[in-house]
Amino acid sequence: MQTALDDLIDTLDLEEIELNLFRGRSPQEQQQRVFGGQVAGQALVAAGRTIEGRQVHSLHAYFLRAGDPKVPIIYQVDRLRDGRSFSVRRVTAIQHGRAIFALAASFQGEEKSPEHQCEMPEAPSPESLPPWQQYLEGRTQRGEPVADWMRRPRPIETRFVDDELDYTGRVVQEPRARVWIKADGRLPDDPLLHRCVVAYGSDMTLLDTAARPLPLIFDESLQTASLDHAIWFHRPFRADEWLLYAQESPSMSGSRGFTTAHFFTRDGRLAASVAQEGLFRQLR
């Protein structure tokens, strides 16, 4: 829905409170912690606000503490380098006087070069797949707090090519997934905003992919969290047009699941690559 997407655009539009200092807020969705993709997107906005004439080509981030959705987040930008071709920024997200998130991002001016890329995996068109809300029908009961939260209007539209994660722990699934995603509405033409929206959406299903082959029951006894996150932006794209998010988890050990992924445009161009490690800890 465009309204939900407009709310996300507003959430990513940080307030500049001083040189290299920005303030962000969280949507009031009664969450216990701030969604990791939101913090990553806002931190990338903060870094990008200190750059002119260059686009982000990579980011590396660590989730340090759970964010508090009830209070603003302060983003402090350190201008580490401005060279002839690249600029590097470090961003620290702060709440209650402590760092909750750290990001390093590199920006580059446009350059031409020879190219190669991996092939896009086969997938049915997104139009042939059910929308997220229809996909949930029969899987959760209305009136359940989790079910109602999952059915809320979302700024990112998702359509699953493969079956969603079995949250009961009874079904063993292959550690890979393909999901079509796009902003649910139209975005302004700012390339940084499109990359921030993809950064936001990139945190949505990676933990699920790492958990697919495991007998994990997703309830209050399972502690999960994103630990670190990296994105490499390869080619121009629009986040309000369908992107195939192809994911694979090569490893789970030490209570940490590792997932790699690629974003492809509909015509098969590799737009971005992602890697993430997440925590899976059974408390009982």
Maximum distance among all Cα pairs of the chain, rounded to whole angstroms:
57
Q: Which among 166, 184, 203, 208 is annotated as catalytic? A: 203
Contacts of 159 (CB under 8 A, 6+ apart): 126, 129, 130, 131, 132, 135, 179, 180, 181
Burial class (CB in 10 A: 0-12, 13-18, 19+), 202: buried
d(CA 14, CA 92): 14
Q: Which among 226, 247, 249, 273 is annotated as catalytic? A: 226
d(CA 264, CA 270): 5
Residue 168 C-alpha from the chain's centroid: 24
226 an active-site residue? yes
Where are the strands (E) in the chain, listed by range? 15-18, 21-24, 55-63, 73-82, 86-95, 98-108, 156-160, 176-183, 222-233, 243-253, 256-265, 270-282
276 an active-site residue? yes
- Closest Cα to residue 156, out of 121, 132, 174, 178? 132
* Amino acid occupying residue 193: L
The angle subtended at Cα 229 by Cα 268 and Cα 121, nearest 5°, is 20
d(CA 7, CA 184): 11
Q: Annotated active-site positions, please? A: 203, 226, 276
